[in-house]
Every structure is written in C-alpha cells, then in structure tokens.
C-alpha cells in the first residue's frame, strides 16, 4: 500500500478540529504523522484533497446484528461477516462487533468460530463478537426468543468466552445469572453488559460489583427509573464508571430521555450503537428471525407482536441525529461514535483517534454530514 497525504480537511484531533493539518498515512495502514498543510513532506506520497470535509476517526459499532441483507444468526460464516461489514462501511463504520441475538449453544459456537476465522483471514473491521443473550429476562425479552433463555453452566461459560483473537462482549440480565458466573466471564476476558433485564436497582448494583461494565441500549428492554424503584436505568445513570450504548434514531428512546442521560453521566461513558438489522445497506426491508418475517415500515423495525426488533439505523445517521436531535456539537457526536466505544472495548491504544501510530481508520463527511469516503487500515473506499 502506497503512502498517502490527506489535505484540505477539517481534521478532528484530541483538542478539536484543525483545518491546517495534513494527515500522512504510511504504507502499513497506520497514521504516520500530522504535519502542517504546507510542509514539503506532503509531496512525498499520493495527495488526496478532502475538499474541506470533516475528517473523523472511523466509527466503531459494538452492536451490529446484520447488514447487506444478512442476519448474523442466520449466517455466521466469515463471508457473511464481511458482507455485513461492507454494508456498514458506506455509513462510516470501520470497526464492528457482529452481534448474535439469543440462540442455541450450537449457533453460538458457530458464531464464535466464524468470527475467529474472519479475524484470522483479515476481514476488515471485525473486532470480535457480541453475544446478546441468551442469559436474559423473559419479562424484558424484546424480540428475543425466551424459549432459548437459560443460565450458563461452567462449560457454556467456557464456550461463550472462547474467542482467542478478538473481543467478546456478553449482554445478560444480572438477576438471571449468578454473580460468580459473571465473575468467571470477566476473569476469562469477556466484557459484560447488563441488558434485557427486569432487575431491581439492588440486583443491578450487585451485577456491577461482580464485574458488569456497561449497559446495552440504555432505556430499552430494562427496568425503568421510578421514584421509589430506580431499576436498571437508575443504576446505569448513577454509576460513574459504567458505559452505556444508546440508539439515537428518534424511535427507541425519546431525545429528552437521552439528554437526561447526557446530563447525568460523565463525559465519555455514553456511546452510539445502531442495533442494526439486515436492511441496512440492502434494498430489502425484510428478514427472517426465528422463522418469522420481520419488515421495516417507515424505517421502524418491529416483530409481529409489535416489539422493536433492532433498527434500520446506520452510524452516520446516528451521528447526524446526535447533532440535530440532542444538540451536541459534531466533535462530541463523532467521539461518541469512535473514541468512546474504543475505550469501552479496550482497543483505544490503536483505534478511535487521529494520531501518529494509530490505525488509519477514518471517515470523511461533507457539509451535510453525509459520508464521502472511509479508510480501513489505510485502504480507501469512496461512498
């Protein structure tokens, strides 16, 4: 891969946007240096004029159920994971966790094996796997199949945490899983989040003490905050350390509730997720889950019972919504899509920043915040 110089962009660095900086990419997929626009070194490599667009760290989505017409539950092969990643890349997502909705142990094993193979084969952007269930609460099941819910034994814990070349994220209901089991998952290297939980405030606090590190799609599928019962939402908002993924599509959560979370949580602990289904990057609005056809209507994805069944959201739209619905500056919305999820996943030593030595995962937005190009490990793709 030839070296490149990206010029004439508004570049998001650690201290904000700069319009007088050129980003030099080396031939190995990393950022070589940040130099003044006029510096002669720019001429040493291929020069790309960014046309005054916003150059941001590539987006990182920790909850991607599908894309490009593929649902991860239905096809766990490396090729399917690649298809999902390519579908989301046109919307600025340069790293992601393919996400498995509650399923059998056999499907879970295939999902982990497919993820391992995809990472080993160099499928772009795959950081690991997200197992959303099946250790969830029937009362907060959403579109998950409660018939597949169970409490994992030691053998299943070992299987669920067996990915040895990437990140494993497990979403569970803390009141459904013994604290020692949560500790065992964390000890084996998994990141554990609370989600699809009917737990009381006290049960969620016990889960946090056992090692729960975050909350999956805050507000959705969890016990709400009330005056005399804070529930899972209250525990999430109170915690100074716990991270929270949020779906900013104007459907899953009212913007006012998200603004409350922004006011309550320390900066850097809320990050954007899509919870995307196969219609993202596809012309087909329908897909099959558990033998049921689910269709997005006016951009809203629900199952036959009326429960929200993931989303048709992409990360670029989530960033735009964060600016327009929540009133945050683009700088912060971009960090919620890149820097903060990188920290949550523990990959922030190489992803989530535009800085020398970091992987050259980048996204270019125009004035309307539409994606114009992405770079994954220095390889460019125009939208």
Residues with catalytic annotation? 275
Joined together, the tokens standing for residue 78 give 């490396």
Q: Is 308 annotated as a binding residue?
A: yes
The dihedral region occupied by 329, where left means phi > 0, alpha psi between -120 and 50, and beta the remainder, is beta
Helix/strand/coil percentages in the chain, nearest 5 = 30, 30, 45
Tokens of 178: 């013994």
Strands 21-25 and 4-7: antiparallel
What's the 3-state SS for 43-80?
HHCEEEECCCCEEEECEEEEEECEECCEECCCCCCHHH
Q: How far apart are CA 308 and CA 220, in angstroms?
A: 9
What backbone phi and psi angles, to 5 degrees, belong to 53? -75, 170
Q: Give the CA count within 13 Å in the CB-facing half-sphere of 237.
A: 20
Cα(340)–Cα(324) distance, integer angstroms? 20
Asked if residue 27 lies in contact with residue 1, where contact means CB atoms within 8 angstroms, the answer is yes
- Residue 264 half-sphere exposure, CB side, CA atoms within 13 Å? 18
Asked if 57 and 361 touch (Cβ cutoff 8 Å), the reply is yes
- Cβ atoms of 54 and 365 within 8 Å: the answer is yes
217 is in an annotated binding site: yes
Q: What DSSP line would sit under 299-312, residue for residue?
A: TEEE-TTS-B-SB-
Residue 132 marked in a binding site: yes
Ligand-binding site membership of 143 (annotated): yes
Q: Is 252 annotated as a binding residue?
A: yes
Q: Would the annotation count 309 as a binding residue?
A: yes
Nearest to 61 by CA among 142, 128, 116, 119: 128
Residues 6+ apart with CB under 8 A from 324: none
Q: Is 261 annotated as a binding residue?
A: no
| Residue 228 assigned as binding residue | yes
For residue 131, the 8-state DSSP code is: E
**Calpha distance 164→166 (Å, rounded):** 6
CA–CA–CA angle 343, 345, 348 (5° rounding): 40
CB atoms within 10 A of CB 122: 10
Is 144 annotated as belonging to a binding site?
no
Query: Binding-site residues for Zn(2+), please?
Result: 132, 196, 217
- Binding region for substrate: 143, 220-221, 228, 252, 308-310
List residues forming the annotated binding site.
132, 143, 196, 217, 220-221, 228, 252, 308-310
């Amino acid at each position: 891969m030839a070296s490149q110089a990206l010029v004439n962009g508004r570049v998001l660095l650690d201290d904000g946007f700069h319009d007088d900086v050129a980003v030099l990419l080396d031939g190995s997929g990393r950022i070589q240096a940040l130099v003044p626009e006029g510096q002669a070194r720019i001429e040493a490599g291929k020069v790309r004029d960014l046309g005054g667009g916003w150059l941001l760290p590539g987006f990182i989505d920790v909850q991607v159920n599908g894309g490009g017409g593929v649902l991860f539950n239905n096809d766990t092969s490396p090729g399917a994971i690649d298809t999902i990643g390519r579908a989301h890349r046109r919307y600025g997502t340069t790293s992601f966790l393919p996400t498995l909705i509650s399923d059998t142990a056999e499907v879970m094993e295939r999902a982990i094996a497919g993820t391992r193979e995809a990472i080993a084969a160099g499928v772009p952007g795959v950081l690991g796997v997200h197992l959303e269930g099946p250790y969830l609460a029937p009362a907060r099941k959403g579109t998950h199949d409660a018939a597949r819910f169970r409490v994992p034994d030691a053998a299943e814990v070992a299987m669920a945490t067996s990915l040895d070349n990437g990140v494993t994220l497990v979403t569970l209901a803390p009141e459904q899983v013994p604290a020692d089991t949560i500790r065992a998952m964390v000890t084996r290297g998994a990141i554990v989040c609370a989600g699809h939980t009917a737990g009381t405030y006290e049960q969620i606090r016990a889960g946090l003490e056992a090692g729960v590190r975050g909350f999956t799609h805050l507000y959705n599928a969890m016990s709400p905050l009330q005056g005399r019962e804070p529930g899972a939402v209250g525990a999430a908002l109170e915690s100074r350390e716990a991270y929270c993924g949020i779906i900013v599509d104007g459907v899953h959560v009212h913007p006012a509730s998200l603004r409350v979370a922004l006011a309550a949580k320390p900066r850097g602990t809320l990050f954007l997720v899509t919870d995307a289904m196969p219609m993202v990057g596809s012309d087909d609005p329908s897909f099959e889950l558990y033998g049921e056809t689910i269709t997005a209507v006016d951009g809203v994805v629900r199952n036959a019972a009326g429960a929200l069944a993931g989303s048709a959201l992409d990360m670029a739209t989530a960033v735009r919504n964060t600016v327009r619905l929540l009133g945050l500056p683009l700088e912060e919305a971009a960090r919620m899509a890149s820097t903060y999820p990188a920290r949550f996943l523990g990959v922030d030593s190489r992803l989530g920043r535009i800085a020398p030595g970091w992987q050259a995962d980048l996204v270019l937005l125009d004035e309307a915040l539409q994606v114009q190009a992405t770079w994954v490990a220095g390889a460019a793709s125009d939208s």
